[in-house]
Structure 1
């Protein structure tokens, strides 16, 4: 927990931007949910040399210019792609890059210059690094580019900032990031969806959908690839997204339940936000989908595993996996150290006990259905401290479909026939669990 707190101090607070790492000078609407960084500008955490040997190296960084125009220069050993964008309140510029090995001089970024008060940098998750500039005032990204190596000089990432007034700064942001426009976004979107013409009739809202809500959560996404196989061509984020969409379609066919997806495309969703989706929707069930892998030298494992929440992992493997899954948010910025008051703690504990009972019950039902069609792990029911399982009032499980590090499991994970059979068994388990729970709750519950 202490190490996570250190990562939190490193990068500030806020969810990771869900954009692809593409070089741009413009600020696009796909960055509507960009992070809101706060806090000091600490130095970077440097991974071990063995872990970063294959990543591009950032060897030096410096600022030049004055309060009207400021330039940032980052020395690299090879060119990289990146995306740069601005945020308001407080004024910041964020640069998303592929994973770098930061070997910058000690203390770099603490002292600013010109338009930049300070900057911080580090690994936000496996595969993705980030640099965050705290600005002294509103400024735009006038230019952003990568210079190829030439004349004995290394490749360089260059950002040029120019001073602008607040009006110009805010107008350069996409509407969903403009502070004064946020309250009207929903209304504007609804109006745009209506037929043209001032006399168009407003649609009559139908009765509220009272069907139980099932939240399907395909893990990872965006710069967070999850586990990988086949030389990096097969990524967990794609496998679990395809599985989650197929599971959604199967459940919706019955018409009994409303299904909400935490993501339907290659977007990074912070772990805390995934939990919020379940709570906002008052979900009857939350199912997170993943695919595990073991590192070389750690042996071999195979089969599907179903996890429920535990304050203490049920074994070392579960603890390792939970720590790996939680780490993306500990680095990305969601606080894991929030301490409620004693009274709130007691109330949450009471709710969690009931929720854990239902979660464990569903896990057993799910295992009973899956074992008839899917190869299960030798210990198929486990518990761990997964962040996405911590909604205190929503029964939740995390399903590891198999191990991409195991040849047999990988063949199953990429098989459409296997996926269809597994989706069928999971949909049947969801129906059996919810039907019994609703019958026990009684009418109107």
Structure 2
């Protein structure tokens, strides 16, 4: 961690009373190979009703409720291995679409998006031929008032209850002298991120994050922590807290953007955090990324801590200075290896970059809406060049810091 960051981290944590957590508890769930398998999803409309049916390898317990703003149905079940064909129909009648995936280490969710208000007429899990389970969610079109009344009665898990409880203690091993870098592949599980054809952003960025981790660890100079290393959902607040708990020297969030109306827009962009966006596109992207929790059915918003104001402000200012230095390094290195956006360095109010004591950047690798970028994002050769560029930027960043510390020591002598 840059000189001086250690004491600021302690002061900020104490002043805010924040729960510092680690993502290791996610690994305690059973392997995905042991999950029930969901296949053969069908959705169909009949009059005023829409029915979603899904076949599972076994019977599971299911809970379902409606939720407003945005209007959707949330179906919660034990961790499930979803093997639904990408070509399966996803919309019918007043259902504009549905998605599915892991929510926590022991829970999965199906989120059904509603174009018009509806209530749950039937939730049924029954045994069918061969010992398989068949899940049926039947929805009935409803008046707005009826829908809101049902949403008000629904027992909705709050974030604190829905997500695993983790120890409020730092996770970095005592005596660890290597720089700690947290790699944060965006989205995951129930939250696929941008979807283009059958390609999900969550898969693209996870592949990149794993490749970056492998290259950095191979140097022996860094300790690498990933907010997720498989296809599971991680809340925005937990991503931030992982960086703080690990006392990270850098936090790198990986994403891939999309502009459906402008498929000619291409290239990577590096973002830092600021209260005011550099431009409208940066503000749009931050707003979209900040809705990741909502995509999983969580009703959350960024917590604003206004405690120990002067110390907090000093920590944030210096953190953002370090973030800016690293971001410029990234732009220089990436620009020498891959195509960059015409405005390669931007800033906006990204929640995932909000740690007051961890230098943090967000990399948009490219635009999945661009046919050329989409091709490159799935290319191992392109990924290798981009990973090498990011690794080089990290090396340069810490080399400059070591040189700065050395000069300061000489001046003192």
Normalized against structure 2, the TM-score is what?
0.63
- Structure with bigger gyration radius: 1
Q: How many equivalent residue pairs?
A: 305
Match of 2:110 among 89, 94, 97: 97
Q: Is the 8 A contact 1:83 1:97 kept in 2?
A: no
Structure 2 unaligned blocks of 5 or more: 1-22, 39-55, 73-88, 129-134, 139-162, 168-172
1:215 aligned residue? 182
1:55 and 2:79 matched: no
3-state DSSP class of the match of 2:308? helix
Deviation of 1:440 after TM superposition, in Å, equals: 3.0
Cα distance change, pair 333–345 in 1 and its aligned pair in 2 (3 A): farther
Deviation of 1:156 after TM superposition, in Å, equals: 4.5
Cα distance change, pair 316–80 in 1 and its aligned pair in 2 (3 A): closer
1:214-233 equivalences in 2 (<5 Å): 214-229=181-196, 231=197, 233=198
2:216 aligned residue? 251
1:145 and 2:125 matched: yes
3-state DSSP class of the match of 1:397? strand
Structure 1 stretches of 4+ with a deviation exceeding 6 A read: 17-21, 77-85
Match of 1:350 among 314, 336, 346: 314
Q: 1: CA distance between counterparts of 2:101 and 2:185?
A: 25
Q: Point out the more displaced range, 299-308 or 434-443.
A: 434-443
1:435 and 2:399 matched: yes
1:413 aligned residue? 377
1:368 aligned residue? 332
1:157 and 2:137 matched: yes
Structure 1 unaligned blocks of 5 or more: 1-14, 29-40, 60-76, 88-93, 110-130, 132-142, 149-154, 159-176, 184-205
1:126 aligned residue? none
1:389 and 2:413 matched: no
Cα distance change, pair 178–282 in 1 and its aligned pair in 2 (3 A): closer
3-state DSSP class of the match of 2:270? strand
* Structure of greater relative contact order (alpha carbons < 8 Å, 6+ residues apart): 2
1:174-323 equivalences in 2 (<5 Å): 208-229=175-196, 231=197, 233-295=198-260, 297-298=261-262, 300-323=264-287
Cα distance change, pair 378–147 in 1 and its aligned pair in 2 (3 A): farther
Cα distance change, pair 84–318 in 1 and its aligned pair in 2 (3 A): closer
CA RMSD across the alignment: 4.2
Normalized against structure 1, the TM-score is what?
0.59
